Structure 1
Amino acid sequence: MWKSHYEPWEPTVARPVRIANFSGYLGDRFTAIDEGMAGDPVDVLVGDYLAEVTLAALAARYRKDPSRGYVEYFLDQIRPHLGAIADRGMKVVTNAGGFHPAGLAAALRELNPGLRIAHVEGDNVITRLAEYQDSGHALENLDTGQPLSSWGVAPMAANAYLGGWGIAAALAEDADIVVCGRVTDASLTTGPAAWWHGWARDDWDALAGAVAAGHVIECGPHAVGGNFSGFTRIANMLTPGFPIAEVAADGSSVITKHARDGGEVTVDTVTAQLVYEIQGPRYLNPDVTVHLDSLRLSQDGRDRVALSGTTGSPPPPTTKVAVFGQLGHTIVNTVYVTAPEVGAKVELLRAQIGKDLPAGADDLDITPLGTAAEDPETQWQATVPVRVMATARDRQALLELDLPGRLSSLYLQSVPGFFHDGGTNLVATPRGRIDYWPALLPMSAVPHQVVLEDGRTLDIAPPPETAVGAQPVHPEPAEAPAAAKVRKAPLGSVAHARSGDKGGNSNVGVWVPDERAWPWLRDTLSTTGLRRLLPEVKDLDIVRHEFPHLRAVHFVLRGLLGTGGSSNLRVDQVGKAVGEYLRAKHVLIPEELTDGTD
């Protein structure tokens, strides 16, 4: 289907390509490949294992042992199915290569010498950071604008986000399995779709549609009801299945699932993933800029949601580089206090634990989690967990702090009703604290290569056209006149939400299934309205956008997560619970919208 210089021939396959996900992160359900192989027929299996901080952990393993650095349990997952994959003519694409895709490719060849294994490399730029800086690339932090040289932390991993054209080229060379490192999550879908349909590098709308489909299925069961705020209305939530994207030649798609599996695919489960971990209506990808605000969803049958209307434009000239370094160490324990007078008890604990801290201890964060019931029916309704976290640049400072010893010494001299879980030991060993530095590099400065089964190397050129584009600006809604009849109720009684992390920023998307509620939601969730509802964000820079086709309001809460999910001191380190917290807030809702709600 492809010419030697990677310009596509006319497509020879008219039907949509069926791409099935089998992993959304490192630690997802181990049996997912078993389920995918036993499910409905598909053309391509794709597995996403790399959250941003996962590469840092794999990098540490790689430095200790150069033969490692990839997701080893992927081998155990796929081993029983290699013969069937070959027999069915299926393709497998995964970023389980992590920090060492060549190592994983070699291990797969040992398991099944008959399969053609290719790998994509070039994303690992840790050894080139000094070269980049010497040549004028300051690798400025995306949030602060400061150059990497000002960080004060030694980088331990640096990976540039690659697009899907290396994957497409490998498949065009008849690879059965393509192993990647840090390609974008959606590239695992875009690459196979571009190969299958023979798209050109500038088929912007088709590419944008594939990126949207890839974004929906990249987090596995998310699109099938997992982590969905309407989970109580989803049938068979015990084990929600993994999604399938049927991507057509024009880039439109249908999201579905294996018929035998649990969960459901609805407009709302798909919307939940579309508003997850984005920065706004312009979704930037190394291959295309996706205009998510043009996308439309419709229910196309049971467990079938159609994505249409997605438009695209040239990608930006740069791609993101995720740099990680060890900021220091941390240690965390949880203890408990019992009502009454929880506030006074926590304050005394804070003073006692923090007394005479050793030199070198940086932060001592003591956070009560929740409140006791006013008139508790059980002892546990009167109990409040208290999370105690200490950090230090030097591990030895935390050992000298002896947090378990400090906590254990308080039983006879602190507050009544203070205890720790007798079923477990207090943690004594510090763990590494990883900091995150998001930066940009010109795509022309990042090598993008495919290494084929026979050892040949294919260079993947940067995009033929790029464009710098900003997110659209949506005016704040005017203060709407109050409805005649309102009811104070949780926002979640009429709205769904999904939140996640983008480095040090948390995003949250809120939408309503009922068209009648859209004007009310838009007016209620102004930036000022959000600040009133969430005291934690009142001093943050907040970016607000609207998605009328999805009936959604989207916010980026800049700096809520510090410099990144792996280093901030919040209990909800990566912002996954912000959406549900917002849904728990009570707001004034027109009574006509609350009919039939609890």
Structure 2
Amino acid sequence: MTLRVANCSGFYGDRLSAAREMVEGGPIDVLTGDWLAELTMLILAGNRLKGRPGYAPTFLKQVEQVLGTCLDRGIKIVSNAGGLDPEGCAAAVTDLAARLGLRASVAAVSGDDLTGRDLDLTNADTGERLDATPLTANAYLGALPIAAALRAGADVVVTGRVTDAALVTGPGIWRYGWRPTDYDALAGSVAAGHIIECGCQATGGNYAFFTEIPDLAHCGFPIAELESDGSSVITKHPGTGGAVTVGTVTAQLLYEIGGPHYLGPDVTAHFDTVTLEQEAPDRVRVSGVRGSPPPDTLKVAVNYLGGYRNTMTLMLTGLDLEEKARVAQEAIWARVPREAFDEVDVSYDPPLLRVTVKSADAQVAGRRFSSAVVETGLASYPGFYGLTPPGNASPYGVYWPVLVPAGSVTARVTVDGTPVEVPVAEHSANGYDGVVAEAPAHSGGATVRAPLGRVAGARSGDKGGNANLGVWVRSAGQYGWLAAYLTADRLRELLPQLAGYRLDRYELPNLHAVNFVVHGLLGRGVAASPRLDPQAKALGEELRAQQADIPAEYLP
């Protein structure tokens, strides 16, 4: 029997009514929600320092709307909204149920918090060593603790830091009894989990060809109909806005990934083996996903306080913009020496001039800087005006990924306060060997100069200090051209801002896609990035707007 897993949250701040919409909109078996972006852990740490909960209170608001119905219908609730305090969040759910006159069995999954442990703080991306003291350090746990909680009878499972896909894989293990060596089934569930984890992005939200998507204003959240072999159908409730197409699912599969081998604590899922098929309107079948053993390490998201930052933004209009930008900077540094700051970032993206400074001293990065910028107002370029008032500096955090041996982290599960045993996974050396079809050859032909986005979709996002940029087309013929045309050098030519950054390029012929990882584009992570677009969400759309030599036969 199919397990219908519905998503109701893609980030901390997503639509509050989504849980109720998913429970009332049609039959589901499991309601999941993802609250924990890499940035969210830092936000929760800040909340905790201010005496607020270390979990996501919005989760409780959603649970209050649906808990009674879920208990009546046997719908399980699984969420990582526990953040830095899963036990506290679970206790809050228990208290909520009591206030509602309901009896719910609530589980907490913890053990991910490694703060205070003696860790090897070598950056997994850059190889640098961290000298600062971590504010948070949380390992990405897998699906086994969630499955153990559900087997023990939990109605609600609240976790700390787990992989986003674990929210789907855990219920799959619970329902179908997959063993740790059932790599293909596990990999299929990971693909399904990755597709629905970001809510409406799988149903047309943020989609490159958005004009093809109906009623985005009432976009429905996604459902994965998960089967016993790990294959799934991605769909949504009838009567909701948006659409589920091969394109929308492809876009989400490419979101925030690196290479085609998607590493996780339960399995390595090979996204270059995914097959997508439009089974019916708003129904896309995901099958053929191959899996192999997981790595012997776990990723740990470390955050530390980097200091203080401040940004002032000036508008440049009219003539001689380059000269105006030069004059503006000279006037600023004449009043406050550039050398006074630990870091300075100046970005000129007409008509905006953004100046960001960082310092260990809040006063230096605060009014001393912002007031100096304002003081240039009557002695700078013509047409001077700013978009930011003078203000104090804000503390910022730095994201620092590290690796630890998987065996050094022990997940803990309690159900209604009683400890539950989590089985230890034993893996084999068997699994998918990674043979992938090559891109078809492109026959050539006359080309037309046109925006790349007339034929190609794109989706981009953040991976710590790196950015990913996935680009896809809709047919094998188009892919033959795209794979030959869109090289790393061509990407730098189309987006000169990427010059100087290391690029990794991966081909996914099964998705008619190529994916790039831009190392270091986001600096020390989202919270520390001085970019106007700190999560690289717009990078794909910037690429699609660039002029490319496109075969005439592929243009509308």
Aligned equivalents of 1:199, 1:430: Cα separation in 2: 51
> 1:434 maps to which residue?
397
Aligned equivalents of 1:466, 1:440: Cα separation in 2: 22
Q: SS of 1:324's equivalent?
A: strand
Selected match of 2:197 from 218, 225, 228: 218
> 2:89 maps to which residue?
104
Aligned equivalents of 2:423, 2:501: Cα separation in 1: 40
Aligned equivalents of 2:143, 2:406: Cα separation in 1: 13
CA positional deviation for 1:411: 2.7
Aligned equivalents of 2:391, 2:432: Cα separation in 1: 48
Matched-pair contact (CA < 8 Å) for 1:316–1:469: no
Matched-pair contact (CA < 8 Å) for 2:71–2:155: yes
CA positional deviation for 1:360: 4.3
Amino acid at match of 2:365: L
> 1:377 maps to which residue?
none
- Confirm or deny that 1:592 pairs with 2:550: no
Selected match of 2:360 from 378, 390, 393: 393
Between 266-275 and 405-414, report the one with greater CA deviation. 405-414
Aligned equivalents of 1:314, 1:261: Cα separation in 2: 38
Aligned equivalents of 2:507, 2:432: Cα separation in 1: 15
- Confirm or deny that 1:117 pairs with 2:106: yes
Matched-pair contact (CA < 8 Å) for 2:203–2:219: yes
> 1:560 maps to which residue?
521
Matched-pair contact (CA < 8 Å) for 1:297–1:306: yes
Amino acid at match of 2:116: T
Amino acid at match of 2:220: G
Matched-pair contact (CA < 8 Å) for 2:440–2:479: no
Q: SS of 2:8's equivalent?
A: strand
Aligned equivalents of 1:271, 1:160: Cα separation in 2: 28
Aligned equivalents of 1:288, 1:162: Cα separation in 2: 12
CA positional deviation for 1:514: 2.7
Selected match of 1:141 from 123, 142, 148: 123
Deviations for 1:7-40, whole angstroms, at most 9, x for unmatched residues?
A: xxxxxxxx11000000001111122112112211
Q: CA RMSD in A?
A: 2.2
Q: SS of 1:333's equivalent?
A: strand
TM-score of the pair, normalised by structure 1: 0.88
Deviations for 1:60-92, whole angstroms, at most 9, x for unmatched residues?
A: 322443x72000121122212221111111100
Provide closer, same or farther for how the CA distance between residues 251 and 480 of structure 1 changes in structure 2, counting only shifts above 3 A.
closer
CA positional deviation for 1:140: 2.1
CA positional deviation for 1:174: 1.0
- Confirm or deny that 1:61 pairs with 2:28: no
CA positional deviation for 1:336: 1.2
Amino acid at match of 1:585: Q
Aligned equivalents of 2:511, 2:363: Cα separation in 1: 52
Between 54-63 and 210-219, report the one with greater CA deviation. 54-63
CA positional deviation for 1:418: 1.3
Selected match of 1:257 from 236, 248, 258: 236
CA positional deviation for 1:476: 11
- Confirm or deny that 1:503 pairs with 2:464: yes
Provide closer, same or farther for how the CA distance between residues 338 and 465 of structure 1 changes in structure 2, counting only shifts above 3 A.
same
Q: SS of 1:327's equivalent?
A: strand
CA positional deviation for 1:288: 0.5
Amino acid at match of 2:231: S
Matched-pair contact (CA < 8 Å) for 1:542–1:556: yes
Provide closer, same or farther for how the CA distance between residues 81 and 475 of structure 1 changes in structure 2, counting only shifts above 3 A.
closer
Amino acid at match of 2:17: T
CA positional deviation for 1:55: 0.8
Matched-pair contact (CA < 8 Å) for 1:332–1:427: no
Deviations for 1:221-252, whole angstroms, at most 9, x for unmatched residues?
A: 00011111010111111231110000000000
Provide closer, same or farther for how the CA distance between residues 353 and 523 of structure 1 changes in structure 2, counting only shifts above 3 A.
same
Selected match of 2:213 from 234, 244, 250: 234
Provide closer, same or farther for how the CA distance between residues 468 and 499 of structure 1 changes in structure 2, counting only shifts above 3 A.
farther
Matched-pair contact (CA < 8 Å) for 1:123–1:159: yes
Matched-pair contact (CA < 8 Å) for 1:317–1:467: no
> 2:503 maps to which residue?
542
5+ long unaligned stretches in structure 1 = 1-14, 133-137, 371-383
CA positional deviation for 1:566: 1.8
CA positional deviation for 1:480: 7.3
CA positional deviation for 1:170: 0.5
Aligned equivalents of 1:87, 1:475: Cα separation in 2: 48
1:187-336 correspondence to structure 2 within 5 Å: 187-336=166-315
> 2:420 maps to which residue?
458
> 1:166 maps to which residue?
145
1:45-84 correspondence to structure 2 within 5 Å: 45-65=31-51, 68-84=53-69
Selected match of 2:321 from 337, 342, 366: 342
Provide closer, same or farther for how the CA distance between residues 586 and 469 of structure 1 changes in structure 2, counting only shifts above 3 A.
farther
- Confirm or deny that 1:516 pairs with 2:502: no
CA positional deviation for 1:357: 2.4
TM-score of the pair, normalised by structure 2: 0.95
- Confirm or deny that 1:367 pairs with 2:352: no
Matched-pair contact (CA < 8 Å) for 1:16–1:249: yes
Selected match of 2:377 from 398, 401, 411: 411
1:577-588 correspondence to structure 2 within 5 Å: 577-588=538-549
CA positional deviation for 1:466: 6.4
Deviations for 1:503-526, whole angstroms, at most 9, x for unmatched residues?
A: 111111111013321111010012
Aligned equivalents of 1:42, 1:94: Cα separation in 2: 15
Q: SS of 2:550's equivalent?
A: strand
Aligned equivalents of 1:503, 1:468: Cα separation in 2: 31
Q: SS of 2:468's equivalent?
A: strand
Q: Percent identity?
A: 44
Selected match of 2:453 from 457, 467, 492: 492
CA positional deviation for 1:530: 1.7
Matched-pair contact (CA < 8 Å) for 2:367–2:390: no
Between 232-241 and 15-24, report the one with greater CA deviation. 232-241
Aligned equivalents of 1:550, 1:191: Cα separation in 2: 26
Q: SS of 2:385's equivalent?
A: coil
Q: SS of 2:66's equivalent?
A: helix
Amino acid at match of 1:99: L
Runs of 4+ in 1 over 3 A off after TM superposition: 466-481
Aligned equivalents of 2:363, 2:429: Cα separation in 1: 49
Q: SS of 1:574's equivalent?
A: coil
Aligned equivalents of 1:48, 1:256: Cα separation in 2: 18
5+ long unaligned stretches in structure 2 = none
CA positional deviation for 1:427: 4.6
Q: SS of 1:53's equivalent?
A: helix
Q: SS of 1:519's equivalent?
A: helix
> 1:179 maps to which residue?
158
Matched-pair contact (CA < 8 Å) for 1:315–1:466: no
- Confirm or deny that 1:28 pairs with 2:38: no
Q: SS of 1:587's equivalent?
A: strand
Q: SS of 1:185's equivalent?
A: coil
CA positional deviation for 1:41: 1.1
